[in-house]
Amino acid sequence: MSHFDDTDTIPEADTPTGERPEGELAPAQAGGQRASEASDTGDPASNQAPAPESSPARHPFEDLPLEEDGMPSSQDLTNGLRAVVDPEIGYNIVDLGLVYEVTKPEPGYAHVLMTLTTMGCPLTEVIHQQCSVILGAMPGVDRVEVEFTFTPPWGPHAMADYVREELRAMGMNV
């Protein structure tokens, strides 16, 4: 049995207050248009939003230079991993010092050797998946292997200086 009926209002999830911005109709009411954009001409076609301009979507890594093996450099692969943020700490895994190395054992294959802040981290699979998705989206990368190791053990000494300073400023003992 549903807890909602047709008169219930479901809050907007993408606003800080959960309220719909003033002047904006619900998508079901106006096809996503703002109230100020809708007209009262009675002609349904006049209430349609203009067609979006078509521009080809750019791939985020399309300008990345490729090496002779058809892949980005190991450094560019490592830089790509800066998009992977440790969900508990809120900083990327490279600047946290979790990534030990990224190698290309053969064309199309990227291998990541990394660690975690603690053994038994409950978010291991999330970080593994994000690494695989990011590197797998890079040109020439067909296979990604993420290997976790705890030798050497990770510590705050491995963090980038700016991360350590910001965490200290928040009161953490690092």
CATH number, span 74-169: 3.30.300.130
Rounded mean pLDDT of 63-67? 94
H helix or E strand, kind and range, residue 165: helix 161-169
Residue scoring higher pLDDT (33 or 155)? 155
pLDDT, tens digit (0-9, with 9 covering 90-100), for 26-43: 444 444 444 444 445 555
Structure token pair of residue 27: 């998508």
Q: Say if CB 132 and CB 113 are below 8 A apart.
A: no
pTM surpassing 0.85? no
Q: Say if CB 18 and CB 12 are below 8 A apart.
A: yes
Domain range list for the chain: 7-47, 74-169
Q: Say if CB 135 and CB 112 are below 8 A apart.
A: yes
The dihedral through the CA atoms of 14, 19, 21, 26 has a sign that is: positive
pLDDT, tens digit (0-9, with 9 covering 90-100), for 86-140: 998 999 999 999 999 999 999 999 999 999 999 888 999 999 999 999 999 999 9
